[in-house]
Amino acid sequence: MADTKAIANRINSIKDTKKITNAMYLISSTKLRKARKSLEDIRPFFAKLREQIGNIVRKIDVKDSRYLVYDDDPVVYEGRTGILVMTADKGLAGAYNQDVIKEALRIMGRHPDYVLFVMGEYGKHYFASHHIPVDEHFNFADIEPSLYQARMMAGNIMDRYDRGEIDSVYVIYTDFRNALASEAVTYRLLPFKISHFTESLEEEEVEFEYVPSPMEVMEKCIPVYCIGVIYSIMVYSFCCEQNDRMIAMDAANKNADDLISTLTVQYNRLRQGSITQEITEISASVKAGKREKNQ
């Protein structure tokens, strides 16, 4: 009977694990929905800001602004690059963290002179254990994305950019390739390509008076706009993380179901076997007893 007991124990422990993975699945799906909604809330503000920056970009000499470059300008390889890496605090989300780090290493190989800004514990641990220095002042955990956090991050990065400590900023984050799959991508935050602001702009000729000047209005808007970009990147990454975790946990749930059903069959067989054996033994001994009486 020891065998059936061991199997019963195993089934119970798998059931307990499944409870946890199932809870993680549900938590992730709620977080995902909430994050998506928060992205909708900020859209009107930043879309309008982008449109207005687009209007200004058409009027000024792009070369005068350190925030903008023409699209056909060669990508800035010279100078120091700030690389912002968005990882999660926790694992158990498929290859989410590994993909981001792989992409980060690729970009780091292309830009030998870099400063690393890392968000999330996973990334920090990785770079610490591989003795790759990261910026110490940049300390953000990957809790649910908030505008406050985005503002602190953007402030930190913009300040360095403004002082010329870094000449370009790349962000490595995870975005949805389609509804099911996500991938780690690299996005150049600074300097902005002008098409970023002008591509969705309608052709209309409204003349504005700019106070104090187009350039000054724009220089004031871009840092605010960066908060929006960083925030949406945080939300995309967060959504992908939750989605990857949902997929991983869903696979774990299915796996648990499979295991439980095989083990249950095994358990029932063993149990049935032992019952049959007992009956055989009893009926055999009864028969033997009867035969003894008759003789």
Residue 249 beta carbon to other proteins: minimum distance, rounded to whole angstroms: 30
Residue 131 beta carbon to other proteins: minimum distance, rounded to whole angstroms: 25
- Nearest to other proteins of 94, 145 (CB atom): 145
Contacts of 193 (CB under 8 A, 6+ apart): 68, 69, 70, 71
Contacts of 70 (CB under 8 A, 6+ apart): 62, 193, 194
Residue 115 beta carbon to other proteins: minimum distance, rounded to whole angstroms: 13
- Nearest to other proteins of 43, 254 (CB atom): 43
Q: DSSP class of residue 140?
A: B
**β-sheet with 114-119: strand ranges across:** 114-119, 81-86, 168-176, 182-190
Comparing CA positions, the residue from 184, 173, 98 lying closest to residue 142 is 173
- Nearest to other proteins of 48, 269 (CB atom): 48
Which residues contact other proteins (rule: CB under 8 A)?
38, 41-42, 44-46, 48-49, 52, 55-56, 137, 147, 151, 155-156, 159-160, 163, 206-212, 214, 216-217, 220-221, 223-224, 227-228
Contacts of 197 (CB under 8 A, 6+ apart): 50, 53, 54, 57
**H or E stretch covering 169:** strand 168-176
Cα–Cα distance, 45 to 58 (Å, whole number): 21
Residue 118 beta carbon to other proteins: minimum distance, rounded to whole angstroms: 17
- Nearest to other proteins of 224, 259 (CB atom): 224
**Quick count: other Cβ atoms within 10 Å of Cβ 24?**
19
- Nearest to other proteins of 64, 258 (CB atom): 64
For residues 147 and 234, is the Cβ–Cβ distance under 8 A? no
Tokens of 284: 């055999």
Residue with tokens 């187009």: 214
Residue 251 beta carbon to other proteins: minimum distance, rounded to whole angstroms: 35
Phi, psi of 74 (to 5 degrees): -60, 145
- Nearest to other proteins of 25, 67 (CB atom): 67
Residue 59 beta carbon to other proteins: minimum distance, rounded to whole angstroms: 10
- Nearest to other proteins of 140, 185 (CB atom): 140
Residue 70 beta carbon to other proteins: minimum distance, rounded to whole angstroms: 23
